Amino acid sequence: MLALYGHPFSSYTWKVLIALYAGEVDFEFHLLDPAAPDSEHNRFVAANGGPLGKFPVLVDGDNILFESTTIIEYLARHKPAMGSLLPEETDAAIGVRLLDRVFDNYVMGPTGEVIGEYLRPEASRDLSRCDAARARLERSYRWLDGWLEYYPAAGQVTLVECAAAPMLHYAHWVHPIAARHARLSAWHAHLEALPPVRRCIEDARPYRPLFPVPMPPPA
């Protein structure tokens, strides 16, 4: 059976969970404990999560993979129920990979910068870095709103939705998606209502007090 090491509050863990839930594939979830670096699960990730011991990590028999995008590509190619996560056709697959990069780099990137700043001791925070990161997020929102004019917004779950849902979820907490981005607002609501995403949101709810940025998260 597949095994996934991760944490229910982690955006990149969600990304893979959404793929697994959408494909209705059986797997074991190995919960990491941020407070117990010496636990068996944490040590496994430290040893197998790449140079920096990051999660999620997927285990499929002898294959151990890290990097959420690579994990999803692997699942799409090796698990028949999950083939639709990545189109077979070359150019369609390139388009999906491009958007995956946009969500990781230009949505989660600045979101992580804001979160990272608030994780510093208050005396050493530089809130001007948060303003700059939020300005970059705003540019990403504007770009995505334009892109959505051409995207089948209510289509099936692919790598695009797996990346978009968690990254927009947390981005919206640090810099709310304004109503003027009408297509992005509507798509964000659509993503949050998808059953695999709903499940991640509910499973993460108990961990919300860990979120360091002082903004009441929307429901």
Ligand X SMILES: N[C@@H](CCC(=O)N[C@@H](CS)C(=O)NCC(=O)O)C(=O)O
- CA dihedral for 104, 2, 194, 114, sign (positive or negative): negative
Single residue of 68, 140, 158, 185 touching ligand X by CB under 6 A: 68
Question: Distances in Å between the alpha carbon of 160 and those of 117, 141, 149?
Answer: 28, 15, 15
For residues 162 and 181, which CB has a smaller minimum distance to ligand X in the complex?
162
Beta-carbon contacts of residue 159 (< 8 Å; ≥ 6 apart): 19, 69, 72, 73, 76, 85, 86, 96, 97, 99, 100
Structure tokens at 4: 């996934």
The yes or no reply on residue 42 touching ligand X (CB under 6 A) is no
Q: Please, which residue, 9 or 185, has the CB nearer to ligand X?
A: 9
Residue 159, both tokens:
């790598």
Residue type, 201: I
Residues 6+ apart with CB under 8 A from 9: 204, 207, 208, 210
Check binding of 11 to ligand X (CB under 6 A).
yes
CB 118 within 8 A of CB 125: yes
Least distance (Å) between residue 11 CB and ligand X: 5
**Which member of 2, 8, 10, 30 binds ligand X (CB under 6 A)?**
10
Least distance in angstroms from the C-beta of 71 to ligand X: 7
Task: State in Å, rounded, how far the first CA of the chain is from the last one.
Answer: 34
CB of 37 to ligand X, least distance (A): 10
Contact segment (CB under 6 A) with ligand X among 5-13, 142-150, 198-206, 210-218 equals 5-13
Eight-class DSSP state of 196: H
- The yes or no reply on residue 12 touching ligand X (CB under 6 A) is yes
Q: Which of 54/125 has CB closer to ligand X?
A: 54
User: For the purposes of burial, counting CB atoms within 10 Å of the CB of 191, is it exposed (0-12), middle (13-18) or buried (19 or more)?
Assistant: buried
Q: Report the nearest approach of ligand X to the CB of residue 182 (Å).
A: 29
- By the rule CB under 6 A, 54 interacts with ligand X: yes
Which of the stretches 66-74, 82-90, 169-177, 209-217 binds ligand X when contact is defined by CB under 6 A?
66-74
By CB under 6 A, the residues from 106 to 165 that bind ligand X are none
Residue 12 vs 21, nearer CB to ligand X: 12
CB 150 to ligand X: min, Å: 26
Site residues (CB under 6 A) for ligand X? 10-12, 52, 54-55, 67-69
